[in-house]
Structure 1
């Protein structure tokens, strides 16, 4: 086994250390910390059985974060490492962890400068848990050691004993590949990760990973059920929810929407008579019935639609659109507001 680390040896690193260690991989985790993890490519640090109680860890590259004062250590393993586990406990199972560990005599009590792959031993228990990691230590695999396991009793059942705990990292601005666990928060707005089925982007304001690009939202539409009763003149009137259902929606992150209203309006009572089909908005965004969003006709019949754009809405807010009508008079023929359809489209 040959484990190399850059920026560790007091007398300088070799040219081979520099070429093999991933010195350019720094995904920030805080102001002074780096996201540690495995560098993707092939099957880094693959675990395969090497005997009843022995496990082989394959080659790979990683970044190991110490304390804030230590910083991050680029590490590579350029030859497979074979590790041997101690026998199982008499009564209970235990979980041991295989980890890449960096010893730095400036920051720990080990008195050496060394990068290695080693076993961090757990504790036997009726409900065993993986051991905590020391500083400057990157967990790769968990191994469940059954009670009484030894070379003479058949050893560790590798097919069921291994738990893959390799998490991945990437360079700043890169996409973090999927590894063990997705239960981690992003560290800056606009960070990307691969969740195994697609990309996600960290939205710092929302404090959440969001699908990227956003899943297109289908338009929401509602149709008029019954014609306007035309019992009022000279004023805008809301359709009842039974006559024309309302639309309630969540404002998309863009804060922008398109609203379309269409149908038939007519009023030929007099040469000055009008008929309107409109909508209004209530909730985190408000807008009244009127000329800015409605269809209108004067002394005639109209079949049409009108699409308007609205922006500046509060992302995540709830808005309800309510259809409405207005007629100036109702003393002649062909007075109606009917066959309406109202549609809202989210702008991504």
Structure 2
């Protein structure tokens, strides 16, 4: 037997053996609900790869997966231990169709088949001008979709496998593990703190925000709201902004008085940082500022970030025309 499943009754004709239990991925996997598991393929090598091996024949390679049944059934661990070859039905004379290559579990305790086994199967879609993938029965995991052109048969050259196969493998992992990237990864997380790989970027599920978020958290550049009387000096690069990546906070941009010909006085609150960008306990920085209005030379300006988020000047040699936030970096803790 080359397609095995754990947690099925023993025979007839198949069912679970001790070898099945050793080969199948038994364990606790990523949840999708209180009693349901995220079904999918287990990463490792090139699991369950489909390959065209004849004009109308497709072969599924070895690998392991988890197939979720109904809530009452639970999830079935499955192992394909040798390649399985299937024959695709000839194409419709007029329209193309989409067939799905699947893993399907039969459990006589929950369905009317009277069988206790798992199989690799082809489920045919309906021919149509714009065909869609077939709806799958219960306890069935879609792995690949095959485009079957109109009139395709062994006698007409068969299926153009290089363009006909579409990867529909979704992936799963053990509970607490990072779910690998795969088709169907645009899914809702099951719990706060779940992780997934999204094309090489790590994301964390936030139950509060009900969304996947970059990890470490990246706010992107957020424009600062300046206090009355302050603005970005004309022609001076990026607007004043903040960005948080994990616990690290960065500032950028330049700030000067709105009124031309004036300088920044001592003790003025220039802007207030939002809660996400405030350092615990506050911070102090010394910035080099431009030549002041009376021409006494460059000014070194000390700036204070208060725990409330207020950012104010509180000491300098002479009042500056503007201050630069470029290169200011600190941690929130």
The TM-score, its normalising length taken from structure 2, stands at 0.76
Partner Cα distance (1:220, 1:338) in 2: 22
Instruction: Tell whether the 8 Å contact from 2:125 to 2:134 is kept in structure 1 after alignment.
Output: yes
Query: Residue 175 of structure 1: SS of its match in structure 2?
Result: coil
Instruction: Tell whether the 8 Å contact from 1:37 to 1:166 is kept in structure 2 after alignment.
Output: yes
* Alignment size in residue pairs: 296
Partner Cα distance (1:278, 1:253) in 2: 28
Alignment of 1:209-228 (within 5 A): 209-215=212-218
Tell me which residue corresponds to 1:199. 202
The TM-score, its normalising length taken from structure 1, stands at 0.73
> For the structure 1 residues 179 and 87, does the alpha-carbon distance in structure 2 shift closer, same or farther, using more than 3 Å as the test?
same
Q: Does 1:39 align with 2:42?
A: yes
Shift of 1:294: 11
Tell me which residue corresponds to 1:92. 95
Higher RCO by CA contacts (8 Å cutoff, separation 6 or greater): 1
Instruction: Tell whether the 8 Å contact from 1:238 to 1:323 is kept in structure 2 after alignment.
Output: no
String of CA shifts for 1:133-190, please: whole Å, max 9, x gaps. Answer: 1110000000011111111111111111101101110000001111113321211111
Partner Cα distance (1:63, 1:294) in 2: 55
Partner Cα distance (1:307, 1:280) in 2: 10
String of CA shifts for 1:181-226, please: whole Å, max 9, x gaps. Answer: 3321211111111112221111121122122223496898999xxx
The farther-off stretch of 22-31 and 89-98 is: 22-31
Instruction: Tell whether the 8 Å contact from 1:222 to 1:341 is kept in structure 2 after alignment.
Output: no
Partner Cα distance (1:76, 1:142) in 2: 20
* Unpaired runs of at least 5, structure 2: 256-264, 287-298
Partner Cα distance (2:232, 2:222) in 1: 21
Partner Cα distance (1:3, 1:81) in 2: 8
> For the structure 1 residues 194 and 309, does the alpha-carbon distance in structure 2 shift closer, same or farther, using more than 3 Å as the test?
farther
* Unpaired runs of at least 5, structure 1: 224-236, 264-274, 296-301, 314-320, 327-333
Shift of 1:108: 1.0
CA RMSD of superposed structures (Å):
3.9
Q: Does 1:338 align with 2:328?
A: no
The farther-off stretch of 240-249 and 182-191 is: 240-249
